Protein backbone atom coordinates (compact mmCIF):
# COMPACT_ATOMS: atom_id res chain seq x y z
CA UNK A 1 0.00 0.00 0.00
CA UNK A 2 1.42 3.36 -0.93
CA UNK A 3 1.17 6.58 0.99
CA UNK A 4 2.43 10.07 0.26
CA UNK A 5 3.49 12.54 2.91
CA UNK A 6 4.53 16.16 2.60
CA UNK A 7 6.98 18.51 4.31
CA UNK A 8 6.58 22.18 5.10
CA UNK A 9 9.34 22.81 2.55
CA UNK A 10 7.09 21.45 -0.21
CA UNK A 11 8.64 18.04 -0.74
CA UNK A 12 6.63 14.85 -1.17
CA UNK A 13 7.76 11.43 -0.03
CA UNK A 14 5.97 8.34 -1.27
CA UNK A 15 6.37 4.98 0.43
CA UNK A 16 5.27 1.64 -0.94
CA UNK A 17 5.27 -1.13 1.63
CA UNK A 18 8.77 -1.75 2.96
CA UNK A 19 10.49 -0.60 -0.26
CA UNK A 20 12.47 2.62 -0.61
CA UNK A 21 10.60 5.93 -0.46
CA UNK A 22 10.56 8.20 -3.51
CA UNK A 23 11.13 11.94 -2.94
CA UNK A 24 10.35 14.95 -5.10
CA UNK A 25 9.03 18.49 -4.83
CA UNK A 26 5.36 19.39 -5.09
CA UNK A 27 3.81 21.00 -8.18
CA UNK A 28 3.26 24.07 -5.98
CA UNK A 29 7.00 24.28 -5.28
CA UNK A 30 7.86 23.71 -8.96
CA UNK A 31 5.49 26.49 -9.93
CA UNK A 32 7.04 28.85 -7.37
CA UNK A 33 10.57 28.07 -8.57
CA UNK A 34 9.78 28.57 -12.23
CA UNK A 35 11.69 26.87 -15.02
CA UNK A 36 14.02 24.29 -13.51
CA UNK A 37 17.33 24.15 -15.41
CA UNK A 38 19.43 21.85 -13.21
CA UNK A 39 19.02 19.50 -10.25
CA UNK A 40 22.06 18.57 -8.21
CA UNK A 41 21.24 15.09 -6.89
CA UNK A 42 22.84 13.31 -3.93
CA UNK A 43 25.33 10.47 -4.29
CA UNK A 44 23.84 6.99 -4.25
CA UNK A 45 24.88 5.19 -1.05
CA UNK A 46 25.18 8.33 1.04
CA UNK A 47 23.16 8.66 4.25
CA UNK A 48 21.43 11.81 5.40
CA UNK A 49 19.70 12.89 8.59
CA UNK A 50 16.26 14.44 8.46
CA UNK A 51 16.71 18.12 7.60
CA UNK A 52 20.15 17.76 6.00
CA UNK A 53 20.67 19.54 2.70
CA UNK A 54 20.35 16.66 0.23
CA UNK A 55 19.84 18.24 -3.22
CA UNK A 56 19.74 21.62 -4.96
CA UNK A 57 17.23 22.78 -7.56
CA UNK A 58 18.37 25.53 -9.89
CA UNK A 59 15.75 27.57 -11.72
CA UNK A 60 16.58 30.32 -14.20
CA UNK A 61 16.33 32.74 -11.30
CA UNK A 62 17.93 31.08 -8.30
CA UNK A 63 19.25 28.02 -6.49
CA UNK A 64 17.06 26.39 -3.81
CA UNK A 65 18.15 23.75 -1.31
CA UNK A 66 16.17 20.57 -0.81
CA UNK A 67 16.30 19.01 2.67
CA UNK A 68 16.02 15.32 3.52
CA UNK A 69 12.36 14.84 4.55
CA UNK A 70 13.36 11.90 6.78
CA UNK A 71 16.65 10.21 7.70
CA UNK A 72 17.86 7.52 5.35
CA UNK A 73 20.26 6.24 2.70
CA UNK A 74 20.03 7.25 -0.97
CA UNK A 75 19.53 4.11 -3.07
CA UNK A 76 18.68 5.61 -6.46
CA UNK A 77 18.58 9.02 -8.17
CA UNK A 78 16.55 10.17 -11.17
CA UNK A 79 19.28 10.35 -13.79
CA UNK A 80 16.75 11.48 -16.41
CA UNK A 81 16.74 14.93 -14.79
CA UNK A 82 20.30 15.49 -15.99
CA UNK A 83 19.18 15.91 -19.60
CA UNK A 84 15.59 16.92 -18.92
CA UNK A 85 15.36 19.02 -15.73
CA UNK A 86 12.11 20.45 -17.11
CA UNK A 87 10.37 17.22 -16.02
CA UNK A 88 10.26 18.81 -12.56
CA UNK A 89 7.93 21.50 -13.92
CA UNK A 90 5.96 19.20 -16.22
CA UNK A 91 5.35 16.31 -13.83
CA UNK A 92 6.59 17.16 -10.35
CA UNK A 93 4.69 14.29 -8.77
CA UNK A 94 5.74 11.68 -11.34
CA UNK A 95 8.60 11.76 -13.85
CA UNK A 96 10.13 14.71 -12.00
CA UNK A 97 11.05 12.68 -8.89
CA UNK A 98 14.50 13.32 -7.39
CA UNK A 99 15.78 10.28 -5.47
CA UNK A 100 14.82 7.17 -3.51
CA UNK A 101 15.62 6.77 0.16
CA UNK A 102 15.89 3.70 2.33
CA UNK A 103 14.06 5.14 5.32
CA UNK A 104 16.00 4.76 8.57
CA UNK A 105 13.12 5.36 10.98
CA UNK A 106 9.57 4.94 9.69
CA UNK A 107 8.18 6.90 12.63
CA UNK A 108 9.69 10.07 11.11
CA UNK A 109 7.17 9.69 8.29
CA UNK A 110 4.28 9.96 10.73
CA UNK A 111 5.41 13.43 11.74
CA UNK A 112 4.94 14.71 8.17
CA UNK A 113 1.72 16.11 6.71
CA UNK A 114 -0.84 14.08 4.81
CA UNK A 115 -2.29 15.49 1.61
CA UNK A 116 -5.19 17.29 3.30
CA UNK A 117 -2.87 18.97 5.81
CA UNK A 118 -0.45 19.94 3.03
CA UNK A 119 -3.27 21.49 0.99
CA UNK A 120 -4.13 23.62 4.01
CA UNK A 121 -0.44 24.54 4.34
CA UNK A 122 -0.24 25.98 0.81
CA UNK A 123 -3.70 27.59 0.70
Partner 1 sequence: MTDQPLLRTPLYDLHVELGGKMVPFAGYEMPVQFEGIMAEHNHTREGAGLFDVSHMGQARVTGEAGALEALITADLSELEPGTQKYTLLLNDEGGIMDDLMVSRPDEDGFFVVVNAATKGADFAHMRDRFGRRAELIELNDRALLALQGPKAGAVMEALCPDAAKLVFMEAGRFTLNGADVFVSRSGYTGEDGFEISIPNHQAEEIARLLLDDERVKPIGLGARDSLRLEAGLCLYGHDMDETTTPIEASLTWAVAKSRRASADFPGARKILKQIEDGASRKRVGFKLKDKAPAREGAEIAHDGTVVGVATSGGFAPTAGAPIGMGYVPAELAKPGTEIELIVRGKARPAEIVKMPVVAHRFYRG
d(CA 108, CA 49): 11
58 binds partner 1, rule: CB under 8 A: yes
Contact pick of 28, 47, 56, 64 for partner 1 (by CB under 8 A): 56
Q: 117: phi > 0 → left, psi -120 to 50 → alpha, else beta; which?
A: alpha
* 5-44 footprint of partner 1 as x/- string (CB under 8 A): -----------------------------xx-xx-x----
> Which whole-number Å values give the CA distances from 78 to 44, 96, 114, in the listed order?
11, 8, 24
* 84-103 footprint of partner 1 as x/- string (CB under 8 A): -x------------------
d(CA 37, CA 61): 10
User: Please, which residue, 8 or 31, has the CB nearer to partner 1?
Assistant: 31
Amino acid sequence: MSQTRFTEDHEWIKTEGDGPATVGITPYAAEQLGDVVFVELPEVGKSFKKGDEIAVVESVKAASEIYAPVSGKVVEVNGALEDAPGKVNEDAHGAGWFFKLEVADASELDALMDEAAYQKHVD
